[in-house]
Chain A
Amino acid sequence: MHELSLAEAINKTVKELCARSEWVRVRRIVLKVGHMRQVDAELLSFAFDVVAKGTVSEGAELSILELPIVFRCHACGKAIGGEGTTFACTNCGSTNVELLSGMELTIESMEVESQQVL
């Protein structure tokens, strides 16, 4: 289950971000995930709940925005959005394509709480 590996990586990155900015609690994380990553959103959320226990992200909601695969074909010049994960142009069949989107694994934004100043 690579969702567990990804959840651990997300949790580690969020922890570092919080330590740097003195955020004490994370309520929500918006994550962009490219289709190439083959992430099961439900599994990832579940895995994240588990690994986030006892950290600043405990109980945080993980919102996953899935991004489709988009190619540019160098043979016919078209930009092609693919359903599957094959690297061939659906217009002309060329494999001379460049991946424009689909490999993302990015924390887009977070809802955080800072230290209470009394």
Chain B
Amino acid sequence: MSEIVTIQQAVMAEDEKYAFRVRESMREKKILAVNIIGSPGCGKTTLLEAMASRTDFSFAVIEGDLETSRDAERLATAKIKALQINTKGLCHLEAHVVEKALSSLDIDSLDVLFIENVGNLVCPAEFDLGEDFKVAVSSTPEGADKPLKYPMLFAQAKAVLLTKMDLLPYIRFDKEMFLRDVRSLNPKAPVIELDLLSGTGIEKWVSFLSERLREKRAHAV
């Protein structure tokens, strides 16, 4: 005997409980949690490296990676507190993994926690990790068509980082189109142009974060 039952439950409901707990703990500790999403090689780790000694807030990184611990080693060299999570082939991080990672990272004195998601533009956009917001990172050699190809990510992002601006003279990249498409998906998010080699744009990104941190703390009082 079978019966038809009405469920009406969000698919991510189970994981959202973990995301809720992560968000609560970040709220209590007044830490800004930022979920960084972008393709492999778009400059996520380089961005974090480049931030060392350029911020007036303290930060740590939870590093989601498919197999290796190379990114965490790079960050450790830059004297950035980093914790590697090996997703063992899973193409995105999930909130329960982040919650577990938090228990083994000393976060009490932190201002900002970055969660560097697995290099992928699709799956990470679907999963809430308990972050304050998502940030989309796209590099110029990837092409200007990324926003419309991955609308979930670009529509949700609180900021869009466009990296490898130094390559612009050597490649074909329709910046007008990129900006227009980001706007059409997400009228509010700033697009921050970065050249991580020279450091151009990092100041703007850091002040964007400082502002969000200030807002969160003002809100928490």
Residue ranges of A at the interface with B (Cβ–Cβ < 8 Å): 2, 4-6, 9-10, 12-13, 16-17, 21, 25, 27-28, 31, 36-38, 84-88, 95-96, 105-114
Contacts and interface: CB of A to CB of B under 8 A. Distances in A.
Given A9-B11, A85-B151, 8 more contacts: A5-B123, A13-B9, A86-B151, A86-B185, A95-B184, A105-B12, A107-B9, A109-B8
Contacts of A85: 148, 151, 155, 185
A95 B3 contact: no
Contacts of B2: 25, 27, 111-113
B13 A13 contact: yes
Contacts of A5: 90-92, 123, 126-127
Contacts, number: 98
B151 A36 contact: yes
B5 A110 contact: yes
Contacts of B220: none
Contact of B11 (A2, A10, A114): A10
B14 A16 contact: yes
B192 interface: no
B1 A114 contact: yes
Given A87-B187, A95-B183, A95-B184, A105 B4 contact: no
A87 B7 contact: no
Nearest to B94: A9
B15 interface: yes
Given A5-B91, A6-B126, A109 B5 contact: yes
Given A2-B122, A16-B14, A110 B185 contact: no
A87 B122 CA distance: 18
SS of A interface (majority): mixed
Interface string B1-30: 111111111111111000000000000000
A107 B12 contact: no
Contacts of B127: 5
B1 to A, nearest CB: 7
A13 B4 contact: no
Contacts of A114: 1, 3
Contacts of B139: none
B165 interface: no
Q: Which of B7, B183, B186 has the most CB of A within 10 A?
A: B7
B107 interface: no
B152 interface: yes
Nearest to B92: A5
Contacts of B11: 6, 9-10, 13, 31, 105-107
A16 B9 CA distance: 12
B100 to A, nearest CB: 16
A113 B14 CA distance: 22
B146 to A, nearest CB: 13
Contacts of B123: 2, 5
A111 B1 CA distance: 10
B8 A108 contact: yes
3 residue pairs, one from A and one from B, having the closest CB atoms: A95-B187, A85-B151, A2-B122
A87 B155 contact: yes
